[in-house]
Amino acid sequence: MSQDINRVIIVGRLTRDVETKSTGNGGLIAKFSIASNRSEKRGDSWQDVPGFFDCVLFGKRADVLRQYAGKGKRLAIEGQLRWSSWEGSDGKKNSKVEIAVDQFQFLDAKQEGGSAASFDSGAMTEDEPDIPF
């Protein structure tokens, strides 16, 4: 058994709607991308620089994510990095790294009254505006 550690936690916004597809045995796979900003000094000022991360989620939670999260929604994810490689139809070797999500948490959501809510361990608090992008 390996003693290595491979964990990643990211808070960001979905860059597109969640795409799902069924597996041959009736399971579900969700694929999505999350953007997370970091601050970088450029000249005399600080600017946000986005990083874009491809993610994959399996099982019933994939359907939950597809139903309740769309482009622009703020999300916290936790998972591990997975590297895969394949040979394309042109014979060229390709590879990618994506985050295999183990857990996620919605960080903003619409309530019936139209205000935003943050979800934390099942409790709702109205503390941040809904940002429409």
Q: What is the pTM of this model?
A: 0.73
For the record, the structure tokens of 2 come out as 């390996």
SS3 43: coil
- Flag whether pLDDT at 30 surpasses 90: yes
Read off the pLDDT of residues 66-110 as tens digits, 9 standing for 90 and up.
Answer: 999 999 999 999 999 999 999 999 999 999 999 999 999 999 856
Domains of the chain: which residue ranges? 8-38+49-125
pLDDT for position 49 = 93
Asked: is 8-38+49-125 a CATH 3.40.50.720 domain? The reply is: no
